[in-house]
A and B are shown apart, each in its own frame.
Chain A
Amino acid sequence: MSAIGAKPAAGAEVNTTASIIGLILTLIIIGALYVITKDISMTMALIGVIIGGVLVGFCVHFMPVGGAPAAMGQAPGIATGVAMLAAGAGLAGLFGGAWAAELGMMVAIVAGAVGGGLMMAITCLMVSVIYVFGMGIPAASGKSKIDPLTGDTQVEFKSQGTEGHGLPFISYVGGVIGGLLGGAGGTLVYIELLYLYEKELPALLQAPMPEDVKIVAVSLAGIFAVGIFLVSSVLAAYNITGTTEGPADPKFKRFPRDIVASLLASAICGIFAILIVAL
């Protein structure tokens, strides 16, 4: 994304002790919320927010993003920043999910997922169109010899001096799956908070007409959803050190440690987002 020539510092190994501490801290935070509020629905909302945050972190691992080299056809993937591409897709999904919020949680989450997936499908298609019809470059993966979905060989389509280019089919599918997961995750965070705020805010603000406060609930849930989305997606971007080819990339195998990190990060952000109306 930026011109800084960053050298990935993180390796692939899992820090077991830290992961266990992370899981325990997550459980402590969930327990703490229950002890403070004595309210099972709020605790369930926090768990929903955490699941949403984890989905967001997981979705980033599917995004085929090549960063700066992709803009020169030197590396496969989409030429942009991974956290922000995930945010673009996930927030477009959140837009659809928020629109369907009144039709129930299930419809809203699936609508959010489809919104994110559609955004990524169109974006990835246009990336392929530009590579093939604008630059005359066929797609080639740099890290896998054969596309695991189509069985296409990749190596001979790699032009000289590059690590591959374009979007092989597996990366395209990865992008769509990433959009689906990101849209669902962002919407889940939003919906959980929205329902909670719609219930609690009128009393807190002593509003005469509960219906009037809805806009405040929407706004508050929206900004919290954006905040948790950015936190979770940036952590995931750190996990894959900024670039990935999607599900076929060896970096994809790093996802377990990001799931733990997302669990803890969404838990700590989520507890404050919920306590704002609880205390």
Chain B
Amino acid sequence: MTTSNLHMYVMAAPLICALFVNLLGRRSRTYIAPLTLGSLLFSSVTACFVLANALKNGRMSYTVGNWSPPYGIELIIDPLAALMLLLISVVALLATCAALPTVQREHAGKEHLFFTLYLILIAGLMGLVMTGDAFNLYVLLEITSITTYGLIAMGKGRAVLSSFNYIIMGSIGACFYLLGIGYIYILTGTLNMADIATRLPLVQGDAAVATAFAFLIVGLFIKMAFFPLHGWLPHAYSDAPMGAGVMIAPLMTKVTIYLMFRVIFSIFSPDYAFYQHAIIQNLIIWAAAISIIAASLMALAQRDLRRMLTYIIIAEVGYMVGGIWLANTQGLTGALLHIVNDALMTLCLFLAAATILYRIGSLHFDDLKGLYQRMPLTMLAFTIGAFSMIGVPPTAGFFSKWYLILGGIEAGHWEYVAALIFSSLINAILFFRLIEIAYFGNGDHGHGHKQTLPPTGSAPWYMQGSLLVTAVTLIIIGLGSGQLVQGVIKLALPAGF
């Protein structure tokens, strides 16, 4: 095991275990938990080494199968990719602790199928952050999407419909991305991102390049549920089985935003994306501001914890897209820091939701009364996650929001700054309303909301343990965000920022 291909082990561990989970899990479900947790623990530890290596040696390129780039597929391990690898494996590991008991209850007998898809999805996400080949990115994007369709369709109620809706929307997004790649391939004759970046400035044909750029970006906008194209997300994420939602919700949109960052900076140049089309840049920041406000207002209308969280995810997508398109150091730093923070915040809130669902069998606001007495530790972690979402120091959410606001002021985009502050206020209302219900309400369900709740029981220790670990991580990342920005994110910013 040499250090130059450690990152391959990070990705291979969940992929290979997916096979064994399917084969052995069929026989007895006792194999599933050790295999899944073991592979993800291995990935997390290895990802730590990959990050340490990347910070020490800088950007590294790895050629798969000894076909040298630009013909072969190139993997690029820079500090940001290594950070994303670590983030994905740690979030997946923590989410799995909650997914195991939830899936065991909701899908008894189908656990091996669930975790096969689950692990392939994680491997696909890891591949996405490493790849340096534009077409390979499309294939991995579809691997993650297909597994997500399957996982969502395993849910109850109208989950199959949501899954179908997501299939249609997701395919349009992926096809747009593929079309963009087609245009770029016809223009430059190459698929390697670095090679495209060197050839693209020499290409004649402004309209064709602009079309390619538009197709790529709109395709990714659909995949990340950026505001006017967000229609599929709330249903898909709230109807998905809780065990899948707890992993998909923190990771999918964040990885897609990272991909947008990659497309802008590795394929095109900041000069092309931001300065040559200033109108488009302004439009996107306006769309981000509207997205933040609209999604926050829609979150306010929900009476179910999980649906409320899905609208908050859409608002957060607006934060990060806007932050990247601000095109200044503060905005980019804030957006990249927010990818990390938001993944952990969403994970924290979804883990809390999973634990509550496991214990009381419902996430409707009327059923959450008196939760602080019944589940003090869970609600403590939930409160930390909520504070981070609102942006209360010293939780992580405050610092990235601070950078984003500074970036907005520096760029003079006051509408974006106003949207950020407005969204913080709405988040405060959302979560304090919820905290009030859970703190002051007495435990009886006498408000007409009576339905047969599924069987319940106290959550296993590792479910609450992973939730508490996530909450503590939020505070640690918050306090250490200075080091994170200086040590990793500053290195990841492209030249000129």
Partners in one complex: no
Residues in B lying within 8 Å of A, measured CB to CB: none
